[in-house]
């Protein structure tokens, strides 16, 4: 099968901090990333990014011209409420009003995420998602967004990738607050974010707005590197903490028995625990009945080997192939599979993992209503030659993933759209500006945009709704 349904969305994804720039303009307060990236020794920051704050009209016109009929944007919390919990910044509201109107004018439907990693600095410094006070501040921020934009925004996501917030900030240490190997904190963060997510869903459902609301998870396949029991166990452990834990919360409304036992096993080996507070599970249960969609980000799967040692890690943030190290106490080690190629940043290219995950959602969470592929794409060091960018490897990457999406659709998985990461080149959180993902090349000096070969290819597909 090569044909997509007529209403299938061919979208492009962005996130406020990675594209907007204008970090100090119109009353925006700092988020955790402003402080983190402006520390001495940091090689890049988001002060200008892709200058979307000023160039959004051009970007949306381009999107329209290239048949892109959906855009993921996120709302910068600290643009709306500069310190996260205090006064509302009118100029922030005005910006997103203009942006949303411009999306609609260009027939590029906005899909809006409320939190894409950019916690306001003031709240971050008070403990980030470990301080439960943040939950109420987040729900207030969400309500303000629903009140101001909820008449026109029909797709809302509470969070983008809580797993990345927990894993990168508290286990890998390449996101603020750069803590390493603190698995108990990472689990607590995920749980607290699940409560905030659920409260936000429950609130939205009382407001009678004309849209739908869900969450965006990054779902990575976890495959044992061999048939050995310890490798299978490692894959299961990594899968439970990275995928099942929060999928259970969002779609079952509880942490399944096996899930919880496995999490406690991991926590025990890491000398910690996590706390579920009174009432949390009721809130989570209610939301699980009402959640409208799952946004699934899929880039890669991991190959796991049993591992008994202490945690060790090297994050390949420069694109020097083969330099990654990832082994976690109580879980396992991610190893390379010689039969699976990787990107320069050591991300295995494994499109069948996306299919397996889609089929699993349908099987294990039969109450899911629909899925949007909210991010998928390939980080690549594009060559710019006289205004032309031949990114054939990216086209091949995306095409392979589309093949598997179609296969899943054919088998009854309800996938309603695809948002390529990213619409234009953006700032990569821990890799800077040379890891490019966009359909449109950005010259970060002049902020000029150039369609890549992939943009022309994507256009053909979105126009015909057919995989080419
Ligand atoms: C996802 C994030 C995006 C984006 C993407 C690519 O996890 O939601 O914001 O950055 O990954 O990741 P990276 O930039 O690290 O290559």
What's residue 317's pLDDT?
84
What is the C-alpha separation between 8 and 419, in angstroms, rounded? 11
3-state secondary structure of 217: strand
Assess whether 161 carries a catalytic annotation.
yes
Using the mean position of ligand 1's atoms as its centre, give its distance from the Cα of residue 111 in Å. Answer: 17
pLDDT digits (tens, 9 = 90+) for 234-256: 999 999 999 999 999 999 999 99
Using the mean position of ligand 1's atoms as its centre, give its distance from the Cα of residue 126 in Å. Answer: 25
**What CA–CA distances, in Å, run from 371 to 134, 177, 242, 412?**
28, 31, 18, 12
What pTM, to 2 d.p., does this model score?
0.97
- Describe the crossing of helices 183-206 and 280-290 by its angle, rounded to 10 degrees: 60
Catalytic residue among 20, 109, 161, 220: 161
Dihedral angle, C-alpha 339, 181, 218, 363, nearest 10 °: 80
3-state secondary structure of 375: strand
428 lines ligand 1 (CB under 6 A): yes
Protein residue with its CA nearest to atom 14 in ligand 1: 428
Q: In this structure, are residues 68 and 415 in contact, taking their beta carbons and an 8 Å threshold?
A: no
Structure tokens at 304: 């796991």
Q: In this structure, are residues 360 and 294 in contact, taking their beta carbons and an 8 Å threshold?
A: no
Of the candidates 155, 13, 25, 200, which has an alpha carbon nearest to the alpha carbon of residue 95? 25
pLDDT digits (tens, 9 = 90+) for 45-84: 999 999 999 999 999 999 999 999 999 999 999 999 999 9
**What CA–CA distances, in Å, run from 50 to 76, 90, 247, 450?**
15, 23, 33, 13
What is the C-alpha separation between 128 and 33, in angstroms, rounded? 12
**Ranges of the chain whose pLDDT falls below 50:** none
What's residue 366's pLDDT?
98
3-state secondary structure of 74: strand
379 lines ligand 1 (CB under 6 A): yes
Structure tokens at 194: 């699940």
Assess whether 375 carries a catalytic annotation.
yes
435 lines ligand 1 (CB under 6 A): yes
- In terms of Cβ atoms closer than 10 Å to its own Cβ (0-12, 13-18, 19+), residue 421 is buried
Taking the CA of residue 164 as reference, the ligand 1 atom at the shortest distance is 7
Using the mean position of ligand 1's atoms as its centre, give its distance from the Cα of residue 200 in Å. Answer: 24
376 lines ligand 1 (CB under 6 A): no
């Amino acid at each position: 099968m090569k044909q997509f349904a007529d209403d299938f969305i061919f979208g492009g994804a962005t996130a406020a901090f990675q594209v907007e720039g204008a970090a100090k303009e119109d009353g925006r307060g700092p988020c955790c990333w402003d402080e983190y990236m402006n520390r001495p020794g940091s090689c890049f920051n988001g002060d200008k990014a892709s200058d979307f704050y000023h160039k959004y009209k051009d970007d949306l016109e381009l999107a329209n011209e290239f048949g892109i009929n959906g855009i993921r944007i996120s709302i910068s919390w600290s643009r709306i409420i500069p310190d996260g919990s205090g006064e509302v910044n009118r100029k922030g509201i005005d910006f997103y009003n203009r942006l949303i109107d411009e999306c609609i004018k260009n027939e590029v439907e906005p899909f809006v995420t409320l939190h894409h990693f950019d916690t306001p600095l003031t709240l971050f410094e008070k403990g980030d998602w470990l301080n439960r006070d943040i939950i109420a501040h987040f729900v207030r921020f969400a309500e303000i967004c629903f009140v101001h934009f909820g008449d026109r925004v029909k797709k809302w996501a509470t969070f983008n990738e809580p797993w990345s917030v927990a894993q990168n900030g508290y286990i890998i240490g390449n996101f603020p607050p750069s803590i390493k190997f603190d698995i108990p904190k990472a689990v607590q963060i995920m749980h607290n974010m699940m409560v905030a997510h659920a409260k936000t869903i429950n609130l939205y459902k009382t407001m009678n707005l004309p849209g739908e609301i869900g969450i965006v998870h990054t779902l990575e396949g976890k495959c044992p590197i061999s048939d050995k029991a310890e490798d299978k166990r490692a894959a299961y452990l990594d899968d439970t903490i990275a995928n099942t834990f929060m999928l259970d919360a969002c779609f079952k409304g509880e942490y399944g028995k096996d899930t919880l036992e496995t999490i406690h096993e991991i926590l025990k080996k890491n000398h910690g625990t996590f706390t579920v507070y009174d009432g949390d599970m009721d809130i989570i249960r209610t939301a699980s009945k009402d959640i409208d969609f799952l946004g699934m980000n899929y880039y890669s799967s991991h190959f796991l080997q049993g591992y008994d040692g202490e945690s060790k890690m090297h994050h390949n943030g420069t694109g020097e192939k083969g330099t990654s190290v990832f082994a976690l106490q109580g879980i396992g080690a991610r190893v390379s599979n010689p039969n699976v190629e990787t990107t320069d940043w050591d991300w295995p290219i494994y499109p069948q993992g996306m299919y397996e995950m889609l089929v699993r959602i349908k099987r294990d969470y039969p109450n899911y209503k629909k899925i949007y592929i909210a991010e998928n794409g390939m980080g690549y060091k594009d060559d710019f030659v006289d205004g032309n960018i031949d990114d054939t490897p990216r086209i091949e990457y995306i095409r392979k993933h589309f093949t598997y999406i179609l296969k899943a659709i054919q088998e009854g998985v309800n996938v309603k759209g695809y948002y390529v990461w990213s619409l234009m080149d953006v700032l990569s959180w821990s890799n800077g500006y040379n890891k490019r993902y966009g359909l449109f090349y950005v010259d970060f000096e002049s902020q000029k945009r150039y369609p890549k070969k992939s943009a022309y290819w994507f256009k053909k597909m979105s126009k015909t709704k057919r995989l080419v």
